[in-house]
Amino acid sequence: MPLAGIRGQGAKSEDRAFKKEGFIKLGIKTAADVCPLCEGTGWRTLPTSSNAPKDRRVTRCDCQLRARNQTLLAAARIPKRYEHCELASYTADFPGAHPSLAFAHLSASRFAQEYDPRDGMGLLIIGKIGTGKTHLAVGITKDLINRGVPCLFYDYRELLKEIQNSYNSTVQTTELDVLRPVFEIDVLILDELGAVKPTEWVWDTVSLILNTRYNNNRTTIITTNFEDQPAAGANGAASPARAATRPETLGDRIGERMRSRLHEMCRVIKMEGDDFRQKFRSASFR
């Protein structure tokens, strides 16, 4: 073949590649990108017993549901370290596993299956470091997202820091910008509640978040390393002097009023056992 002909074919090939790349950049779907079930409309026809047009029904195509789920998953802010966590991959079947871990897994799975947005009841998952609290919380999140439920994951410390940073005049974010999605999301996952040393501001902020979600009947899933026990000096608990010699409790970290509120808005799951991240060097447990 003449050299000019080869060059001509190469030019045509490059031209086709350029056009295809241009279509992708412009968001224009090529034939290969179009879903064969809905032909790009987002709707597919349901099978019927009659060919009459009046009997034809349509439903959202699976391609649209998958795209929506991917969008919800990206918006959920699940930390990269826990992106692999699934309810199906959580295991309590190993030597020395405390029975509470299997019960916690069963309770988390049932919660995800039976979730009802009208209920508003969430979960308070309590356990030592390394028992798998965050794994279960993220697993529930993914299961709910697969059902089209909007979720938002926040580390307690990170959330408080973002709120504090919004007070900086050089930051183009207001306190309401940070808190609005926290207030309004269908399911909020608040990880490591109580991990910040309590101050009046911390208590006020936690009260605002929990009370707002409680009043709006929003579901909240919470994990904490602190024992669900009263604060020092509350309801016959240890005096402040004696409390100095015992581990801090959830009541100490968030206040008795908010601990009581949590019991109204969450079912309690208690997980016991050793830190299996150290024992097995696995990031699947927390």
Domain edges within the chain: 37-75, 79-280
| Model pLDDT, residue 43 | 59
Q: Is the pTM of this model over 0.85?
A: no
CATH of region 79-280, choose from 3.40.250.10, 3.40.190.10, 3.40.50.300, 1.10.10.60: 3.40.50.300
The span from the CA of 100 to the CA of 126, in Å, is: 11
* Pairing mode of beta strands 57-60, 43-46: antiparallel
Burial call 249-282: b when 16+ CB within 10 Å, e when fewer: bbbbbbbbebbebbeebbeebebebeebbeeeee
* CA gyration radius, the chain: 26
Ramachandran category for residue 93: left, alpha or beta (phi over 0 → left; psi -120 to 50 → alpha): beta
Residues 6+ apart with CB under 8 A from 239: 232, 233
Per-residue pLDDT of the chain (286 residues; tens, 9 = 90+): 444 444 444 444 445 444 444 434 444 444 456 777 676 666 566 666 555 555 567 565 666 667 788 899 999 999 999 999 999 999 888 888 899 999 999 999 999 999 999 999 999 999 999 899 999 999 999 999 999 999 999 999 999 999 999 998 888 789 999 999 999 999 999 999 999 999 999 999 999 999 999 999 999 999 999 999 999 877 666 566 666 678 899 999 999 999 999 999 999 999 998 776 555 554 454 5
| Model pLDDT, residue 239 | 62
Torsion, Cα of 97, 227, 254, 160 (10° steps): -20
Q: What are phi and psi of 220, to 5 degrees?
A: -130, 130
Ramachandran category for residue 173: left, alpha or beta (phi over 0 → left; psi -120 to 50 → alpha): beta
What separation in angstroms does the CA of 57 have from each of 36, 101, 147, 173, 210?
18, 46, 22, 46, 43
Instruction: Report which of 71, 225, 76 is spatially closest to residue 141, judged by C-alpha positions.
Output: 76
Residues 6+ apart with CB under 8 A from 72: 145, 148, 149, 150, 151
The span from the CA of 152 to the CA of 188, in Å, is: 5
